[in-house]
Amino acid sequence: MPASLDDFQVISTIGTGSYGTCKKICRKKDGKILVWKEMEYGSMTEAEKQMLVSEVNLLRELHHQHIVKYYDRIIDRTKAMIYIIMEYCEGGDLATLIAANKKNGESITEDFAWKILIQTTLALKECHRRKNGQAVLHRDLKPANVFLDKDSNVKLGDFGLARVLHSESSFAQTYVGTPYYMSPELVNNLSYNEKSDIWALGCMMYELCALSPPFTASNQSELNRKIRLGDFPRLPLKYSIELDMIIRKMIQVEVSQRPSIGSILADPLVQKRREALECNVVSTRTNSSDNEKHDLDNIEKLRNNLIAKMRQLELKEKELESREKSVALREKIAEEKLKRAMSLLDQVRHRDDYSTTSQTAVKVTLPDNLSDASLKRQVTFHPQLFDKENLRQKIPHTGLVKPLQTKSALPYNKSLENQLGFAGYNITHNNLLHVR
Ligand SMILES: Nc1ncnc2c1ncn2[C@@H]1O[C@H](COP(=O)(O)OP(=O)(O)OP(=O)(O)O)[C@@H](O)[C@H]1O
């Protein structure tokens, strides 16, 4: 029994396109959520109406996991309306995704781009499969016609409908989309073919990644000129050269240079990506072999994490080793300097021993700026005892001494400052000897 409008309950309006309004509906008998597209056919000729009906019937034969499933059509003659009932794609469409990414300054991942490319190609392959010797072309491949299910898998929509609605009919005149994806052969008024769908797929993939179509212009003739030239910028650098290359191949002005669906799918990189994609799909199911695979994946991940951590440790060890080496080197330099200082000090002592007078003693006073009278006294010490221990004994409470200008064989001079300074004493600019 054919379905009737009463079999469904409208839940909400999803949106309105060029040809009609899309509504979310519930099938009463089992509660299944679907959508229908309401289109008014009043302005169509009888031939167009027939064509529309036969196309919708054709859609029912297109069964593919990446094509929006068409369930039924209901014709309401009193209102001259046709309702096309289809699978509900809760992930929305790619046009909405592109707009959201543009707004939020985000972009899709490389993996997601490959997924969309592969799944849309598979959907096109199913459509391009010749029926009675004639390929079914999409003719309106664009982000707004590529939907996503709840797991972000592709569901190609509006298939075949575009074929009818874009024909040279009065109805087709209502099409108001901007033809950014028009291929050079269409710009040159040549016929649409399978490779025109490939061109559109390349343009769509480009826009999905770059968030802007490959060819843009403010008017149709400028756009046509750019399309004929076929020059467009590289994809943003975050995308691989391989992805850029495959999209570039699809957007080639020369039709024969564009790859067919078959050659896209035969590309080794596409095959590798496809295998990975199919593995992922399998691992999301819940049978035991999937669980085993999931476990193996987890072990592999853990192994990779361990390897990465070991590499980090190795790097840290190397860093520590080189730090140790540099500390050892610095210590060695310091030792040598100390040795040199001690030997200079020895030379000074030796020179002082050589002198036979009382000049061997160096008189030291506390600096004037120490106000405590008890501290303001002269201190005498022998250069032989000129080391930290003795100075501390001789000058309690302070490390400051002032060498007197005596007949000592140890006159204050810059070199002495350097020698003593290094050996543990500082002599400041006003002849203050500071014990460190
Ligand atoms: N099967 C579907 N599942 C979920 N949402 C859908 C489905 N088909 C269409 N939509 C949504 O309904 C709205 C209207 O879609 P429709 O296809 O009528 O027009 P359009 O694609 O936005 O524009 P145009 O008709 O110019 O291509 C869009 O927001 C679209 O994403």
Could you identify the atom of ligand 1 that is nearest to the CA of residue 16? 14
244 is catalytic: no
Output the residue whose Cα is nearest ligand 1's atom 16.
17
Distance CA 195, CA 201 (A): 10
From first to last of the 436 residues of the chain, give the pLDDT tens digit: 678 999 999 999 999 877 789 999 999 999 999 999 998 888 888 887 777 777 777 777 788 999 999 999 898 989 999 999 999 999 999 999 999 999 999 999 999 999 999 999 999 998 877 566 566 677 778 999 999 999 999 999 876 555 555 544 433 333 334 589 999 998 998 887 889 999 999 999 999 999 999 999 999 999 999 999 999 999 999 999 999 999 999 999 999 999 999 999 999 999 999 998 888 764 433 344 555 566 667 777 788 888 888 888 999 999 999 999 999 999 999 999 999 999 999 888 887 665 544 444 444 444 455 444 444 444 444 444 444 444 444 444 555 554 444 334 444 455 554 544 444 444 444 444 444 3
- Rounded distance from Cα 270 to ligand 1 centre (Å): 29
Question: Which amino acid belongs to residue 211?
Answer: L
| pLDDT at res. 295 | 65
pLDDT tens, residue by residue, 158-210 = 765 555 555 444 333 333 345 899 999 989 988 878 899 999 999 999 999 99
Output the residue whose Cα is nearest ligand 1's atom 4.
89
User: Are residues 164 and 106 in contact, defined by beta-carbon separation less than 8 angstroms?
Assistant: no
Global confidence as pTM: 0.64
| pLDDT at res. 327 | 93
| pLDDT at res. 368 | 52
Distance CA 360, CA 363 (A): 10
| pLDDT at res. 430 | 47
Maximum distance among all Cα pairs of the chain, rounded to whole angstroms: 137
Please indicate whether residue 88, judged by its CB atom, sits closer than 6 Å to ligand 1. yes
Which candidate in 93, 140, 197, 352 is catalytic?
Answer: 140
Output the residue whose Cα is nearest ligand 1's atom 31.
93
Please indicate whether residue 14, judged by its CB atom, sits closer than 6 Å to ligand 1. yes
